[in-house]
Amino acid sequence: MSTTTREQFIAAARHLFAERGFYGVSIAAVAEALGLTKQALLHHFGNKEKLYGEVLQSISGPLQEQAQGLLDRTPEPQQQLVELVLLQYRSQSDDADSARLIMRELLDNEQRAEKAGNWYLAPYLNMLVDALLAVDGAAHLTRDQALAVIYQWLGAAHYFAVSQPTLASIFGARAYAKTEACFEDELRQLILARLQAL
Amino acid sequence: MSTTTREQFIAAARHLFAERGFYGVSIAAVAEALGLTKQALLHHFGNKEKLYGEVLQSISGPLQEQAQGLLDRTPEPQQQLVELVLLQYRSQSDDADSARLIMRELLDNEQRAEKAGNWYLAPYLNMLVDALLAVDGAAHLTRDQALAVIYQWLGAAHYFAVSQPTLASIFGARAYAKTEACFEDELRQLILARLQAL
DNA sequence: CAATCTACTTACCAACTGGTAAGTTGTCAA
DNA sequence: TTGACAACTTACCAGTTGGTAAGTAGATTG
């Protein structure tokens, strides 16, 4: 067995929290997913909140690394921008659980805001805003405007990544698959169109 | 008292469900918000799921009406399109609870998909896709592509409407207010830029 | 004046919640 | 061989969950 019990707990918790949210999942349910008792879980994580925190960390780390790697090998700011947003879209549509969990964090933040608000989005957003302001013709934008522009792209990507079950249930799995197949391309066009209008 | 107890229950439940999600709210907590016991709530709604269902209904109705009204008094398809998306953005940023609840529905849908999937989004999305395909120069789009384009706009709007607590906690209330002030205008530009690129 | 209905209440319930305490079992180092 | 430690277990606990049953007070109606 290459993965530790700890890691297995985090993986199971990530999936369940993504599906039903923090309050919708009992620690007993997570433990049961591994065939263990909830006290085994408590042994490893202390309490439910800490488990949840580790789940969030397990998501933010890799994505941040990927983004940094992309920045390092892509010098041109406009290309950086496009590829960063598309990277985020791809990784979220590959890993539906992460996408959902992050969206839930966004919603729940009033309660957990102080701790959670910064963990994932803050550095990422600043990275993107900087890239946008470095693009030719974007110099006239204020930082607030740049954030609005960025956030619209991210929203377009994230919203779709999270909507799969709903859209598939409305239009059927086949129609959804078709829309998904062209979504990334349409997203690129959305970004480029907005950049050209600068 | 002009509002009935029933309506008061729905209003209280809408707020609480929006904040903490279905599983995060007990019927006792909803009842307590009116100074009543949970059995009073059960008397009116039978069970928790039915209460939740009525909350969803109380949101979908008005928005659908507003959209239809707009369509009736705006003949030109491109203008229809822009105004429909902006209408959705405005109503969601005015009523943060509704915006959150709808986003939660999107996330929770795997479980409640069959019943809930169609209640709000389906007619709205079809309305928008039809409007887009009627725009000059959009004839070459497939229905799936049109849905992708539409959904990106809606995502941009909805995502931001839901992110207020997180963004305010990351950048501070003042910076958030500035971004919010220009967001609608930026959204309009995003839509128009994409339409021009058709 | 009696009967019915609505809007609630108190009194329960079994199941589940997160969490503590106190073991038990196997591994590994001194 | 002993002793410590990690990884669990069973046995609890008090509080909360959604929900049922059986009322009660007040207004409406015959």
pLDDT tens digit sequence for B49-107: 999 999 998 988 888 888 889 989 998 989 999 999 999 999 999 999 999 999 998 88
Nearest to A186 among B108, B145, B166 (CB): B145
What is the Cα–Cα distance from B126 to B138, expressed in whole angstroms? Answer: 15
pLDDT at residue B1, as a whole number: 42
Q: State yes or no: pLDDT of B2 exceeds 80.
A: no
Closest CA to A158 of B94, B106, B171: B106
pLDDT given for residue B118 in this prediction: 59
Instruction: List average pLDDT for each run of 10 residues in chain A, which is 198 residues long.
Output: 86 96 97 97 96 92 88 91 95 94 84 56 88 93 97 97 89 94 98 95
Say if B144 is an interface residue toward chain A (CB within 8 Å): yes
Cβ contacts of A169 on chain B, cutoff 8 Å: 109, 113-114, 117-118
Average pLDDT over residues B166-174: 89
Q: Do A155 and B151 touch (CB under 8 A)?
A: no
Is the CB of A12 less than 7 A from some atom of nucleic acid strand C?
no
Structure tokens given for A95: 């890993």
Q: Is the pLDDT of residue B114 over 80?
A: no
The gap between A32 CA and C20 C1' (Å) is 20
- The predicted pLDDT at position B67 comes to 87
Bases on strand D under 7 Å from any protein CB: 7-11, 16-22
H helices within chain B, ranges in order? 5-20, 27-33, 38-45, 48-73, 77-94, 96-116, 121-133, 143-162, 164-171, 173-196
Give me the pLDDT at residue B121, please.
Answer: 80
Among residues A148, A2, A121, the alpha carbon closest in space to that of A63 is found at A121
Give the pair of three-digit tokens for residue B9: 């229950």
- CB pairs A-B closer than 8 Å: 191
Long-range contacts of A114-118 (CB under 8 A, 24+ apart): A114/B169, A115/A53, A116/A56, A117/B165, A117/B166, A117/B169, A117/B170, A118/B169, A118/B170
pLDDT in tens, B4-50: 999 999 999 999 999 999 999 999 999 999 999 999 999 999 999 99
Say how many Å lie between the first and final Cα of chain B, rounded. Answer: 54
Structure tokens at A149: 């522009």
Phi, psi of B197 (to 5 degrees): -75, -5
C-alpha A102/C-alpha B60 separation (Å) is 25
User: How much of chain A is helix, strand and coil, in % rounded to 5?
Assistant: 80, 0, 20
**pTM score, whole prediction:** 0.91
| Rounded Cα–Cα distance for residues B112 and B107 (Å) | 10
**What pLDDT is recorded for position A1?**
43
